[in-house]
Amino acid sequence: MKKIGIITLNGDFNYGNRLQNFALQQILKKEGAEVDTIAVKRKKIDKLKHEFIYSHISTIADIKFIIQKLIGKITPNSLRKRKVYKKMINAKKDVIAPFSSEYISQKTVKQSEVADLNDKYDLFIAGSDQVWNPNIISFDDTNFLGFADSHKKFSYSASFGVSEIPATPKKLRDHFRKSLTDFQYISVRENAGKKIIKELINVDVEVAPDPTLLLSKQEWMEFLKPEKYHETPYLLVYFISEPAKETWKQIQCFAEAKGLKIIKIMGDSYDPKQQIVTPLDFIRSICFAEYVITDSFHSCVFSIVTNTPFFVYERSDGKGVSSRIDTLLQTFGLEDTRVKIETPLLTVNPAYHFDQVNSVLMQEKKRGVELIRKHILNNFVTD
């Protein structure tokens, strides 16, 4: 039995992150592996070191970048946003953390203990989610499995979360290039990631389905409560970033025209009027909704899995993570679910051909599992 360590983003405040982690674990367990998700407990000083001290400053542009970043962290608006963000995290943790404890086999290690992991596992998988987002990991090589032997390094549906690696700090691209060169196998989640890998190390890699797509609706339903999420027909609203006022106006008009109650689930902005739910109830709320309106990748995924009509907006925070949604919608032929802020929602009429969607879903599930079998589980060789 292979012992596998998963390296992904950790934190009990993001539904998609917890559910993709769970899904990958389940697929690997079905294939007979023993699986742990490794959570690295970092001190704030370690993160600051990687952001500022280990940034390999080599140009004036780098110095300007670091100064702007430092100033950006102490502006009144930034401090206010961080306070609200921290409040959201603390509120969500109480509800989401029990899911991780019950459903995910997780091992927590200190940063100083990461080097010892290599001898404890047969192989490691980086992914899924935005494990290689330069705005999150900077020069930290843990998510690139820098602690592991080359023959133990794999990725599955890993995401950069950006369309290109930033030009500053100048040496960041070199760091990413070196970190990716000795992987045994790489697959990414979106087309933009495939392009980045090609540019960095000149290798063509697979664009693999997100792990949440590898479990069928029936498999997900085994973990859900069978009763409806809400007795009254409802429209589910879940935005990672705070939507524009015009967007809220369009949503309210749409709900009134359809005779639907609006249920809001809290995203990354704290709002006591919005619901905080467990990850499984997050899926259930989508499953029983008449419509879903969102800017979230995993809300789109579970709308597809449960055949729930949905509309998707661009994120309003300008973080440029739409490439993953673009790839998802293109795969399932659902590009017309995109809505622009200036477009009246009632005039948007996507063609939800769920028979075709389900056919693609079956193909993607099969493809994803086969990629894991062929390129990770069966491709692993001992030293």
The answer as to whether 339 is a domain residue is yes
Please list, in sequence order, all residues whose beta carbon lies within 8 angstroms of the beta carbon of residue 333, skipping any fewer than 6 positions away.
353, 356, 357, 360
What is the CATH classification number for the domain harbouring 167? 3.40.50
Please, is 225 exposed, middle or buried when counting C-beta atoms within 10 Å of its C-beta (0-12, 13-18, 19+)? exposed
| Chain centre to alpha carbon of residue 208 | 13
- The rounded distance, in Å, linking the Cα atoms of 176 and 178 is 6
- The rounded distance, in Å, linking the Cα atoms of 71 and 73 is 5
pLDDT for 54 equals 52
pLDDT for 51 equals 53
The answer as to whether 383 is a domain residue is no
The answer as to whether 358 is a domain residue is no
Residue 153's SS3 state is strand
pLDDT for 55 equals 53
The answer as to whether 325 is a domain residue is yes
| 287 and 229 Cβ atoms separated by less than 8 Å | yes
Same domain, 72 and 201: yes
- The rounded distance, in Å, linking the Cα atoms of 190 and 198 is 13
Dihedral of CA atoms 267, 271, 274, 278 in degrees, nearest 10, equals 50
Same domain, 63 and 154: yes
The answer as to whether 129 is a domain residue is yes
- Alpha-helical regions (H) of the chain: 15-30, 44-48, 60-74, 76-103, 134-137, 172-180, 191-201, 217-221, 245-258, 279-287, 297-306, 322-332, 354-372
Same domain, 225 and 282: yes
Please list, in sequence order, all residues whose beta carbon lies within 8 angstroms of the beta carbon of residue 49, skipping any fewer than 6 positions away.
none
Tokens of 195: 């392009």
Range 4-17 burial, b when 16+ CB lie within 10 A, else e: bbbbbbbebbbbbb
The answer as to whether 359 is a domain residue is no
In the DSSP assignment, the letter for residue 346 is G
Tokens of 239: 């935005």
What phi and psi values does residue 5 have, to the nearest 5 degrees? Answer: -105, 125
Same domain, 198 and 245: no
Same domain, 256 and 313: yes
Residue by residue, DSSP assigns 265-299 as E--SS--TTSB---HHHHHHHHHT-SEEEES-HHH
Examine residue 209 and say whether the peptide bond preceding it is cis (omega within 30 degrees of 0): no
Same domain, 312 and 238: yes
Residue 313 lies in domain: 219-352
Same domain, 37 and 67: yes
- The rounded distance, in Å, linking the Cα atoms of 52 and 69 is 9
- The rounded distance, in Å, linking the Cα atoms of 376 and 21 is 17
Give 158's strand partners. Answer: 129, 188
Same domain, 46 and 82: yes
The answer as to whether 224 is a domain residue is yes
Same domain, 194 and 257: no
Same domain, 206 and 261: no
Each of the 383 residues of the chain gets a pLDDT tens digit; together they read 899 999 999 888 999 999 999 999 999 999 999 999 999 987 665 555 555 555 566 677 666 766 776 767 778 777 788 888 899 999 999 999 999 999 999 999 998 999 999 999 999 999 988 999 998 887 889 999 999 999 999 999 999 989 999 887 778 899 999 999 999 999 999 999 999 999 999 999 999 999 999 999 999 999 988 777 888 999 999 999 999 999 999 999 999 999 999 999 999 989 999 999 999 999 999 999 999 999 999 999 999 999 999 999 998 876 656 888 999 999 999 999 999 988 999 999 999 999 999 999 999 999 999 999 999 999 765 55
Same domain, 308 and 172: no
Give whole-number Cα distances, 78 to 1, 73, 244, 245, 315, in Å: 48, 6, 19, 21, 18
The answer as to whether 238 is a domain residue is yes
**Count of the separate structural domains present in the chain:** 2
Same domain, 105 and 137: yes
pLDDT for 83 equals 87
pTM for the complete prediction?
A: 0.91
